[in-house]
Every structure is written in C-alpha cells, then in structure tokens.
C-alpha cells in the first residue's frame, strides 16, 4: 500500500502532497523523462502529463511498475498524437529490467480501440526549439520555441506557437493564478523554500491548468 501511495503522490511532478513527503521537495526534483506527442507527422517531447488526471481517478488502472527511476517517478512514458483535432493516446510504455519497455495501453483501456483523451482539459506544452537553459528539475528547462495546445475534454480548441519570451510570460501569468489557489498556497507553505523554487518545481501543474475565475481568489 505504501508503494502505491508514494508512486501516485509523485506521479505529477510537484504535486502538493509530495512537498511534505519523503525528504522534502529537493529530494524529488530530478528532471523527468517526458511523454511524447506527434503533431503533423513530427514527434516532440511533451512537458505535460495528460494521463495523470485519468490515473488519479482510476488508481488501479496502471500495472505496478517493476522498475522505478528518479527520472521517471510516474512509472511510464505515454505517447500521444494529434489526429482530427483530438488528442489520441497511442501507447503507455513501462520500463522493464534489462528488457524493452512494455506497452500496457490495452490493460489500462481494455475496451477502447482508439483512446481519445476525453478526460483531459488543460494546456499541453511542447518545446520545439533549441534548449536555452537546462534545469535539473521536473520540466523546468527553457527552450527557444514552443507549441501550446489548449484541450477541452480531448478536443483541441487552440494551437499557438510561442517564442521563449512569450512562453515565460505565459508561465508567470499561470503561476500568479496558481499561487492564489488552495493547492498553490498549500504547496508554497509546505515547501518552506523560496517561491522561485516552487515556480520551477510545479511548472507542469500550473502550465497545464486552464484556470477558471472561481478557481482562484484575489
């Protein structure tokens, strides 16, 4: 039971409860292997984990990992594609000791031929340009260019291309909204470190969130 709780708690990098567990935030700040997404026939790393909300609602869906790594706390790498203005899940690969990763998508979604991510509403962050600044923490590294997709229940509402500065402006705007939410306030309080650390550590959470007016307080 303790193993499952730890994995689920750490599944989303910077998840609020992880701040107070097992050695504090710096012990869990390792840069993470990303998911992958195919857009217009080209593969990109994905700095968002759209499978997380589904697994939080269905905690027994993902098989127990046989290998755990500090650069893959969630225990899998998911592969996605944009098809017909929908976000499609094509694979869920889990590492195996001294073997090729195993695709467990049929175990997680046994009754679906095509898995549309209809559980997911939020942004997807896709770095596309040259690495500008490496940060050994979650998905906090900064790149020269980005694609930002806005998703609602698996349907792509908007696709935008951002420069580094435009993306940083988006990050700061999102973080300001996040820090006013109960989750953001709790994370900053629990972290007991400088706010800039939380800004980097929790980037996957707040950059993926579509904040509604009711979700923040002034």
Mean pLDDT of the chain: 84
Band of residue 216 on the pLDDT scale cut at 50, 70, 90: low
Alpha carbon 99 to its chain's center: 25
**What's the average model confidence in pLDDT over 86-111?**
94
Model confidence pLDDT, tens digit, residues 157-215: 999 999 999 999 999 999 999 999 999 998 888 877 678 888 988 999 999 999 986 55
Whether the per-residue pLDDT at 128 is higher than 50: the answer is yes
| Torsion from C-alpha of 151, 81, 98, 4, nearest 10 degrees | 20
- pLDDT at res. 142: 94
Band of residue 138 on the pLDDT scale cut at 50, 70, 90: confident
Angle at alpha carbon of residue 32, lines to 46 and 28, rounded to 5°: 140
- pLDDT at res. 213: 67
What is the value of pTM for the model shown?
A: 0.82
**What's the average model confidence in pLDDT over 99-110?**
94
């Amino acid at each position: 039971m303790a193993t499952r709780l730890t994995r689920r708690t750490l599944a989303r990098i910077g998840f609020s409860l992880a701040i107070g567990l097992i050695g504090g935030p710096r012990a869990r700040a390792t840069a993470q292997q990303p998911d992958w997404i195919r857009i217009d026939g080209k593969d990109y790393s994905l700095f968002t984990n759209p499978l997380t909300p589904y697994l939080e609602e269905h905690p027994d869906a993902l098989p127990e990992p046989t290998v755990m790594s500090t650069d893959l706390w969630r225990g899998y790498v998911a592969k996605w594609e944009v098809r017909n203005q929908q976000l499609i899940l094509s694979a869920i690969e889990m590492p195996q000791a001294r073997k090729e990763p195993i695709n467990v998508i049929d175990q997680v979604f046994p009754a679906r031929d095509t898995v549309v991510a209809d559980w997911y509403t939020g942004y997807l962050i896709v770095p596309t340009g040259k690495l500008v600044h490496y940060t050994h923490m979650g998905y906090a590294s900064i790149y020269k260019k980005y694609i930002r997709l806005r998703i609602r229940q698996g349907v792509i509402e908007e696709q935008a291309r951002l420069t580094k500065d435009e993306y940083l402006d988006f990050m700061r705007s999102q973080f300001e909204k996040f820090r006013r939410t109960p989750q953001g306030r709790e994370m900053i309080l629990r972290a007991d470190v400088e706010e800039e650390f939380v800004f980097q550590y929790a980037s996957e959470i707040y950059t993926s969130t579509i904040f509604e007016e009711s979700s923040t307080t002034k």
